Amino acid sequence: MRCLLSLACWFFVLCISSGAAEEQQHDSTGTLEIDLVFPRNETYSPTPMFPLVFSYRNPQLIPLLRPFILYQIWDYNDMGKSISNSYVEIPSINVSTVNDTHFEYHLLRKFDQEGKWFLVINFMWYNCFEDPHGISGNKYTIRENDTSASFVFTTKGPSKHIDLVAATSNKNCSSPAGVAIKLQDTVKTPQSDDLKAEVGELCPLDPTATEADKCDVTMDLSSASSISAGMTSEVCRYNLTRPEGVDCESLKEKESVGMRIVFGGTTCLAFILGALGYIL
């Protein structure tokens, strides 16, 4: 009886601690490094699942700098033909649990053919600066900042899936794309500024930005596998647009096993709670 009561108490505490939303604390100084990890200025095999991968180092600064990325890809032999045009939103992360490097990816579906492609990337963020002519007497004004990078990459040869671990293992590349934003101070966001909705409660004050000069971000097997699984899940979601050469059956088997584990855990929990209710 006492053992069951103790078990119930510990279970209750566990649920409360995991379900409660803790106020996230973040650093107000440091350097946020954002890099394009893949592709590089190299040649790759055509593939139905071509990833565009970005890394964020020191991601605890993301809630303050709120960076986002615009990108566009053209057919190099026909610059009037845009292949892909989109943006990477501000990453939503839990700053108390995120690892040192956070990855974001976009799945591109049009690179299952040979070709030469021109990629342009804009890294963007907002910050405050001291403005003697500030609106409504505000000492600070919000402005948009950006830095850009561009290069050519090629798809050629037989179709096969991208090995992100191998493709990012070399830290030397001819066209690095990224930015390091150094944040030293923050101020309270001026509420009369038209751009106040683009920043948080605190606004970065005059951070300095340096363009990347090398490709020093590599991917381990765990991160690469996570991206591969995410892309596979995305393309297998719809039968009509499912590309050839993608193994959706293995994904279904893994999801089925996951559902059985969840169901088994739920059944066990229901049994424990039912037993406790009967005994008490």
Name residue 84's beta-bridge partners: 73
User: Which pLDDT score is estimated for 208?
Assistant: 96
Q: In this prediction, what percent of the chain has a pLDDT beyond 90? A: 59
pTM above 0.75, yes or no: yes
Q: What is the pLDDT of residues 142-169, one digit of tens each?
A: 999 999 999 999 999 998 889 999 999 9
CA distance 199 to 189: 7
- Tens-place pLDDT, residues 21-58: 334 455 678 999 999 999 999 999 999 899 999 999 99
Return the pLDDT at 154. Answer: 97
C-alpha dist (Å) from residue 134 to 138, 194, 216, 254: 5, 12, 40, 57
Q: Output the pLDDT for position 13.
A: 38
Name the least confident of 119-123, 213-217, 218-222: 213-217
Per-residue pLDDT at 233 exceeds 70? yes
Domain assignments of the chain as residue spans, ordered by start: 25-243
